[in-house]
Each structure stands twice: as structure tokens, then as C-alpha cells.
Copies of this chain bind each other. A is one copy, B any other.
Amino acid sequence: MIDDPVRVARAYLSRVAEPPAPALAAFVAEHGPVRAARLVRDGMVPTDVDRQTSARRARDRAEEDLRQMAAQGGRLVIPEDDEWPDWPFQALTMAAARRLRCGLAPLALWVRGKGNLAESTDRAVAVVGSRSASGYGLHVAAEFGYGLAEAGMTVVSGAAYGIDGAAHRGALAAGGSTIAVLACGVDVAYPAGHERLLAEILEQGLVISEYPPNHSPARHRFLTRNRLIAALGDGTVVVEAGRRSGAKNTAATTSALGRVLMAVPGPVTSSSSSGCNELLRAGDAVPVTSVAEVVESVGRLGFDLVEATGNRDVPPQGDAMRVLEALDPMFPVPTRAVAVESGVELARVEALLPELEAIGAAERIDMGWKRTPEGTWRGDT
């Protein structure tokens, strides 16, 4: 790993600024990681980048970090790797373009555990909720974790006490895949009481973080981390959340990224469920009462489309089909007009169009989007 100058550069960059650092990210995009790292180290950067990097630029622990990670069976996954979750992070890049606070893909990810990160996030659902969960919440989180893993989905969560832990444990019990996204270094056992759970996740799934080794957690880092949880899932299930739970931050980010937000209804007499019931009443989240409903809600675009196009008797369903039908085969339609025409929220349209492009159903032309012949096959019947 130390032989790869790009990886060494990104290891340095991952420690030099506190994420999210939009100026540094733009600087890296402009100059490439190796040159950007050298310029940062030499202080030859514009003011906004300097502001984000000056405090730590002299502290170059890149090779040491990479060596330590390797010794712990870990690695640094970078955007240049096949393993990089390109697809899930597109939503972050798009959100950054819209200047949303939750935007910005990480510069690199520190990863420990078994399996390929890109493959693990190919079909994934985030399961989140309060630390101070009720017996009901813990039960549902474990059931959902188990059932989603059984259904072949990776369970993404934050390794916190309460709902997070129960979801991870459920997935592990099913022998499935799970990803813990930390707000500290992947070598830091936090929370302390979950040291053993984190060790178990390493055996069967992945523990990841954009923070370098040894970094300790901090309040703002949980919020920054939440955007990765929301981005890595095809949707987020809020199992139980009080009115002020941090899970509501992940929920808001999920919607902002155009991902499917789901909430588990709970007793109106339970303050642990008040956040979920509030999301439902506001119409911000889809209620889900079973694993089957979660799978149905997140759907799977490529798969759904094949199903829909392959069987003309089944009417097209879901946001993706509505977006597709809002496109014209001849004239490019601007994204905002697609949202109006389809009745699907703009953020979700912005997330779906590139997915439709990836499966060959839509293509971007100038300032708008067209339906391709593949997308037209079902769309016009």
C-alpha cells in the first residue's frame, strides 16, 4: 500500500482536514490527489483550502497510518479502487453540487473486515434508531437486521448502542453481511461496550470510517458520519427514534439524498416511537411493518425495470418508472421538468436519472434527459 503514491497521498489528505472539507475536495478534484497532497503539505494552496488544512498540514502520518492499518488487517479504500462505492456516493456528489450540507463524498475510507466494499453496498439498507431504545425497538431492529440479511441485503448502521447494535446483531445472526460506519478511527472500539460486537462484525462484514486510525469520536463527527450511512443504503429504515434522536438527522439526509426513507410505526404512547410516528404523519417516511415491505419499498431499480419491461401485463410501479415515463424519446427534458411531470420529488429524480442511465434506459443530452429505445420499450405501452 505504501508503494502506491496515490494511496499515500489520500491517506495524508484523509487526516489533514476535518471532513467534510469542500474546499479541499475541490482542490483534490482539480489537481489530483498526489499533486494536491504535495501542495497542501507545502502550504501552496488558496485561502479556503489553507483554512481547512493549515492546522494539520505539517503532520504527515500517511505511511505510518497505512502500515498500522495493514497490521490490523485493514486498508485504505480510495476512489481509484474498484472497491470504491462509486454508485452510492454519486448521491453525495450531486448533493454537494446543490450545496447541501449533507453532500460531499469522502476523500478515502479506512476499512477493516471481510469482503469487498462495492459489492457489499450493491444491495444495502441502512437501519438506524435511538441509542435508548425500547424492548419493542430492539426486537424489531434485530428482526429487520436478520430478515434483510436473509434477503441478501447488507445492513448498514452506526454500531451505536440500542437500535444500531440490534440491527448489526440481527444481520450477523443470519450469517449475512453488515457494515458499521464509525465516527472515529476503525481501530477505536467505540462505544466501549460494543468492542465485542465490532470484532464480530469484522469477522463477517466491514467496519469503515472516513476518519484516520486513532481518531476519537466527537459530536459533530456523528452528524458527518450519518451522511455516509444514508448514502450507502438504497434506503434508510428508522426503527425507533425519539423526537430529538440523532436518527432524525440520518432520516433528513436520506431524503435529501433522494433515498427512500422508511419508518417503523410504533405505539403512540411510547416516546421512543414519537420521532417515527412524526415522520409518518409529516409524510416524510413510508411506513414499513415487515422486511418484505422494506424490500418492496427500496425496490431495486435495474431489477424492477427488467420485471416491468419484461411483463407487459404488470403496470409500471415505483418512482423510477414514473420518472422514466416523464422522459421523451425525442426531446431532452430538464431535470426540474421531469420532477414536475412525474410528480416525484426533485432530489429523488436527481438520484434516479443516473441510475436509469446506468441501466441504459435514459441518457443525458445537453441540459436534459431522454428516454432510450430500451427505456421506451415498456414506457410507451
Stretch at the interface among A214-222, A246-254, A283-291: A283-291
A319 to chain B, nearest CB (A): 14
> CA of A266 to CA of B270 in the docked complex: distance in angstroms?
10
> CA of A140 to CA of B266 in the docked complex: distance in angstroms?
13
> Does any Cβ of B come within 8 Å of A268's Cβ?
yes
> Does any Cβ of B come within 8 Å of A255's Cβ?
no
> Does any Cβ of B come within 8 Å of A269's Cβ?
yes
Chain copies in the assembled complex: 2
Contacts of A269 in B (CB 8 A): 136, 139-140
> CA of A278 to CA of B286 in the docked complex: distance in angstroms?
11
Interface residues of A in 272-299 (CB under 8 A from B): 273-274, 276-278, 280-281, 286-290, 293
Contacts of A267 in B (CB 8 A): 136, 265-267
Q: Which of A269, A277, A278, A287 has the most CB of B within 10 A?
A: A287
A280 to chain B, nearest CB (A): 5
> Does any Cβ of B come within 8 Å of A264's Cβ?
yes
Contacts of A286 in B (CB 8 A): 281
A103 to chain B, nearest CB (A): 29
Q: Mark A2-17, 1 if CB is under 8 A from B, else 0.
A: 0000000000000000
B281 touches A293 (CB 8 A): yes
Partner of A289, one of B274, B287, B289, B290: B274
Assign chain A's interface to a size class: 20 to 34
> CA of A287 to CA of B266 in the docked complex: distance in angstroms?
11
Tell whether A281 pairs with B277 under 8 Å between CB atoms, given A136-B267, A140-B269, A268-B265. Answer: no
Partner of A287, one of B280, B288, B293: B280
Contacts of A276 in B (CB 8 A): 265
Q: Which of A136, A276, A280, A290 has the most CB of B within 10 A?
A: A280
Contacts of A287 in B (CB 8 A): 265, 277, 280-281, 287
A289 touches B293 (CB 8 A): no
Q: Which residue of B lies closest to A137 (CB)?
A: B267
> CA of A269 to CA of B291 in the docked complex: distance in angstroms?
12
A268 touches B281 (CB 8 A): no
Partner of A265, one of B136, B280, B290: B280
B288 touches A140 (CB 8 A): no
A289 touches B264 (CB 8 A): no
17 pairs from A and B in contact (CB 8 Å cutoff): A136-B267, A136-B269, A139-B269, A140-B269, A265-B266, A265-B267, A265-B268, A265-B276, A265-B280, A265-B287, A266-B267, A266-B268, A280-B280, A281-B286, A281-B288, A281-B289, A281-B293
Q: What are the 7 A-B residue pairs with the smallest beta carbon separation, nearest first?
A: A265-B265, A268-B289, A280-B287, A281-B287, A277-B289, A265-B277, A136-B267
